[in-house]
Structure 1
Amino acid sequence: MDDDLQSLTREQLLAEVRRLRHGIREHRDSSGHELCWHHPALWSLLPEKTDPVPVVPEWPQFLRGCIRYRQSLDEQAPGAPRSAEPFVEPTS
């Protein structure tokens, strides 16, 4: 799967590591309502050129998953800052 790495020079490998780290940091540093979004930009960092279509849960199951995700943040990051900012539709 990662055979393409064998042909890269040291400089190319370092550039690839930097590119991947940038994408990971961008995803890691998302917060607030951004955490709820589908992130195809992250998957596009992989060399496989696929456009996976997510399986989208029905609303009741989706909302239960959102609630569970939010609960997990309370468990895993109890000291994280909280916000009461309302969702605002992103502008392009």
Structure 2
Amino acid sequence: MDTDDDVDEMGIETLRAEVRRLRAGIREHRDSTAHALCWHHPQLWGLLPEETRPELEVPEWPQFMRGCIAYRASLDRELPDTPRTAREFGG
């Protein structure tokens, strides 16, 4: 069974409600800013109907930090005019 077969059984109002729910979750993730950009977001995955825990791998610290630096550098390239903040995490 395809994990999205339930969509075929939904009525129009149920589909509309589902679209609104998914859009709200995507917007919440999209609107993350500052340090929240770097966090694990299981609530986004929770929008899916299937209850599975993805098999995660956590990089070792050196690889993780290189990834963080690469991600932050990509923000400089992709969003060069976005305001910057010196606010510390948790502050």
TM-score between both structures, scaled by the size of structure 2: 0.94
1:45 aligns with 2:39: no
Residue 84 of structure 1 is matched in structure 2 by 86
- Moved beyond 3 Å, runs of 4+: none
- Aligned residue number for residue 28 of structure 2: 26
| Cα distance per residue 1:39-77 (max 9 Å; x no partner) | 000001011111224200000000000000000000000
- The one-letter code matched in structure 1 to 2:44 is L
Q: In structure 2, list runs of 5 or more residues that go unmatched.
A: none
SS in structure 1 at match of 2:85? coil
Q: Which amino acid is the alignment partner of residue 78 of structure 1?
A: P
Percent identical residues: 63
Q: Tell me whether 1-10 or 45-54 shows the greater mean CA deviation.
A: 45-54
Q: Higher RCO, 1 or 2 (CA under 8 Å, sep at least 6)?
A: 2
Secondary structure class of the residue paired with 2:28: helix
Specify the alignment match of 2:16 in structure 1: 14
What TM-score comes out, normalization by structure 1 length?
A: 0.93
Partners of 1:14 and 1:73 in 2: CA distance: 34
What's the Cα RMSD here? 1.1
Alignment coverage as a number of residue pairs:
89
The amino acid across from 1:62 in the alignment is: F
